[in-house]
Amino acid sequence: MLGDGCGATRLMRYLPALRFDALGWAYEPIAMRLCRAARWRPALVDAVAPRPGARILDLGCGPGTVGRLLERRCPEALVVGVDPDPVMLRRAHRENVRHGSQMILVQASATALPHDDPLDAPFHVCVSSLAFHHLEPRQKRAALGEAFRVLAPGGRLVIADWGPPQTAGGRLAFAVTQVFDGVATTRDHATGDFEAMLRALGLVDFAKQGRWATPVGTLCLYHGTKPAPSGA
């Protein structure tokens, strides 16, 4: 039996952390080059449309780049970033300090959001970019349920993530992404089942706003509004 002290087991356990600590500096260049983030992040920020006093929740905030872009667009909005990975959150914290950001960071999974401060008041927007394809279908449903729970009626859900590839080349590119990120978490993006999951939430004015071809997949931007309770 492999014991707790087995080198290989320990290596496997800490590999993701080692990868992000050692390659943390490379995260943004990779997002820019491979995921073409500079092309679609402005559309994501426009879709969120941060306003003074708005409470915005970033699910799977990673190093916090999107949160800081939202803050830059509207410094009077409050951004809370949630991520379960302590290494990502350390990096986000360092970058927040470097940029003088007020973004609040919480270590938690999007599938089970804490019920206490700063998540105990409703949010005007839940945003997420490139995080849902790290979740298996059951976890995606849980995370979408949580996003719906913490959104105020009339609040907006805005998600940027992989969608169905449009061409044979796109399918090949996404197959490479699936090797790295796992088939179980990415299959429903390729098949369109993730989009169906979003549609099933019953958001008002649900829209798939754009498709951006990247070297590693087709990026889609989805958004919609949580309906007000009937009779309100």
Ligand X SMILES: C[S@@+](CC[C@H](N)C(=O)[O-])C[C@H]1O[C@@H](n2cnc3c(N)ncnc32)[C@H](O)[C@@H]1O
**Selected binder of ligand X within 85, 161, 188, 195 (CB under 6 A):** 85
State which residue, 78 or 160, has the beta carbon closest to ligand X.
Answer: 160
Please check whether residue 77 is in contact with residue 101, taking contact to mean a CB–CB distance below 8 angstroms. Answer: no
State which residue, 77 or 130, has the beta carbon closest to ligand X.
Answer: 130
Please check whether residue 220 is in contact with residue 210, taking contact to mean a CB–CB distance below 8 angstroms. Answer: yes
**Selected binder of ligand X within 57, 65, 216, 217 (CB under 6 A):** 65
Which helix (DSSP H) or strand (DSSP E) does residue 160 occupy? strand 151-163
Q: Does 161 bind ligand X (CB under 6 A)?
A: no
Strand 217-225 to strand 204-214: parallel, antiparallel, or no bridges (unpaired)? antiparallel
Give the three-class secondary structure for 56. strand
Q: Does 203 bind ligand X (CB under 6 A)?
A: no
Please check whether residue 155 is in contact with residue 146, taking contact to mean a CB–CB distance below 8 angstroms. Answer: no
Work out the number of other CB atoms within 10 angstroms of the CB of residue 226. 23
Please check whether residue 156 is in contact with residue 125, taking contact to mean a CB–CB distance below 8 angstroms. Answer: yes
Q: Does 60 bind ligand X (CB under 6 A)?
A: yes
Q: Does 61 bind ligand X (CB under 6 A)?
A: yes
Per-position x/- string for 123-142, each x denoting binding to ligand X as judged by CB under 6 A, each - no binding: ------xxx--xx-------
Q: Does 218 bind ligand X (CB under 6 A)?
A: no
**Selected binder of ligand X within 103, 110, 157, 159 (CB under 6 A):** 110
State which residue, 58 or 195, has the beta carbon closest to ligand X.
Answer: 58
Give the three-class secondary structure for 218. strand
**Selected binder of ligand X within 45, 47, 57, 59 (CB under 6 A):** 59
Q: Does 221 bind ligand X (CB under 6 A)?
A: no
Q: Does 101 bind ligand X (CB under 6 A)?
A: no
State which residue, 23 or 204, has the beta carbon closest to ligand X.
Answer: 23
Position 205, amino acid: D
Could you give phi then psi for residue 50, rounded to 5 degrees?
Answer: -60, 135
- The phi-psi region of residue 53 (left if phi > 0; otherwise alpha if psi is between -120 and 50; otherwise beta) is left
Q: Does 47 bind ligand X (CB under 6 A)?
A: no
By CB under 6 A, name the binding residues for ligand X. Answer: 31, 59-62, 65-66, 82-85, 88, 109-111, 129-131, 134-135
